[in-house]
């Protein structure tokens, strides 16, 4: 049986990522991404299990916030960016600003069926979500804001 806490703990230890259990069963992992100039950028990925989401089967859900959606974003370019994800996809979700007011947020997400997941696959999916989220955040929202 797949144990999410053990898997994310092992992944964070292997790569020296910061890991927080922000509430029971919900994890935030700060993924380190090495740039071409040898500098580092970091992107948070939130991870949790959702029971019965995929045709009644359990999934591991992951997402990374890129920035607040606004209608002035270049939608064509954003759709093109979505094509770079291997496991990940770009979408808009209902969210809240820091002050608690409602907004919509552009995120990169992945939904991985538990029965098809192991630690190696989860590691790749987490990095894919972080990498694509970081690119979109940098390109459309001016840098590391989320």
Domain ranges of the chain: 4-141
Q: Is the pLDDT of residue 146 over 60?
A: no
Instruction: For residue range 90-105, list pLDDT tens digits in order.
Output: 999 999 999 999 999 9
In this structure, which topology does domain 4-141 adopt according to CATH?
Yope Regulator; Chain: A, (3.30.1460)
- The pLDDT of 104-124, averaged and rounded, is 95
Q: What is the dihedral of CA 117, 119, 137, 140, to 10 degrees?
A: -40
Q: Give yes or no for a contact between 34 and 40, defined as CB atoms under 8 angstroms apart.
A: yes
pLDDT bracket for residue 10 (50, 70, 90) = very high
């Amino acid at each position: 049986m797949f144990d999410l806490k053990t898997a994310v703990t092992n992944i964070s230890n292997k790569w020296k990522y910061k890991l927080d259990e922000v509430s029971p069963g919900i994890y935030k992992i700060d993924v380190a991404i090495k740039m071409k100039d040898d500098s580092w950028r970091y992107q948070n990925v939130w991870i949790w299990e959702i029971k019965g989401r995929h045709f009644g089967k359990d999934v591991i859900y992951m997402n990374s916030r890129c920035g607040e959606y606004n209608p002035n974003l270049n939608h064509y370019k954003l759709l093109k960016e979505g094509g770079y994800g291997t496991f990940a996809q770009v979408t808009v979700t209902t969210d809240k600003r820091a002050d608690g007011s409602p907004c919509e947020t552009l995120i990169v997400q992945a939904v991985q069926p538990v029965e098809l997941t192991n630690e190696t696959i989860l590691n790749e999916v987490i990095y894919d979500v972080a990498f694509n989220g970081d690119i979109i955040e940098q390109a459309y929202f001016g840098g590391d804001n989320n």
